[in-house]
Structure 1
Amino acid sequence: MVIRLFCAAGMSTSLLVTKMQEAAKEKGKEADIAAFPIQDLDRMVEAGDIDVALLGPQVGFQLEKAKSICTPKGIPVDVIPMADYGMCNGMNVLKFAYKLAKNK
């Protein structure tokens, strides 16, 4: 599964990415997880290599725009829950991503 996190500059989610990678390894899941600036969303969706797109809470106001980019390509997108983001709860965010993928 290819999970991409998008935030203001692609930096603030780096710790969360690490925690998610650890959680995936612990669960035996094959996951390619990385963070990027929200400005890269359109280009990356067009490239077609994303299974799930997650937005950091600080760019949550761009969810509708993100949906307009992702939905036509069949890519689920949502905002990471604030509590899980703030606590860097990689396991919960990983589960959130898999749930989104399952429901698409």
Structure 2
Amino acid sequence: MKKIVLLCAAGMSTSMLVTKMREAAATEGFECEINAYPVSQSGAVLKDADCCLLGPQARFNLKKVQAEFPNLPCAVIEMQKYGTMDGKGVLADAKALIG
């Protein structure tokens, strides 16, 4: 099972997107765990993650996360996908990161 972590400013704004991503994963039959956390918890929650997606409002933390976890695929969620809560699209981006 893959573990996808979303990071945002407070861990709250991405909760709706997480729900949409979980729905898309269930529809696709993709077994994964998807959760959102504040960036301040990245050290604890990324240790066993398969990929990390940062909300657009937390994009300035990307280099910090990449430096702390150099082998973890990380990216910033596209603003349009985030704004429209495109769970299927963001899940596809996460799957592409995982490989």
Q: Residue 39 of structure 1 corresponds to which residue in structure 2?
A: 40
- Percent identical across equivalent pairs? 45
Q: Residue 14 of structure 1 corresponds to which residue in structure 2?
A: 15
CA positional deviation for 1:69: 1.3
Q: For structure 1, which runs of at least 5 residues remain unmatched after alignment?
A: none
CA positional deviation for 1:44: 2.0
Q: Residue 78 of structure 1 corresponds to which residue in structure 2?
A: 75
CA positional deviation for 1:42: 1.5
- Amino acid across the alignment from 1:21: R
Q: For structure 2, which runs of at least 5 residues remain unmatched after alignment?
A: none
- Amino acid across the alignment from 2:5: R
The question of 1:62 aligning with 2:61 is answered: yes
Q: CA RMSD in A?
A: 0.8
More displaced, 60-69 or 8-17?
60-69
CA positional deviation for 1:43: 2.0
- Amino acid across the alignment from 1:30: E
In 1, the alpha carbon distance for the partners of 2:9 and 2:55 equals 8
Give TM-score, length-normalised by structure 2.
0.95
CA positional deviation for 1:30: 0.1
Structure with the higher helix share, 1 or 2: 1
Superposed counterparts of 1:80-99, under 5 Å: 80-99=77-96
Off by >3 Å, runs of 4+ in structure 1: none
In 2, the alpha carbon distance for the partners of 1:57 and 1:13 equals 10
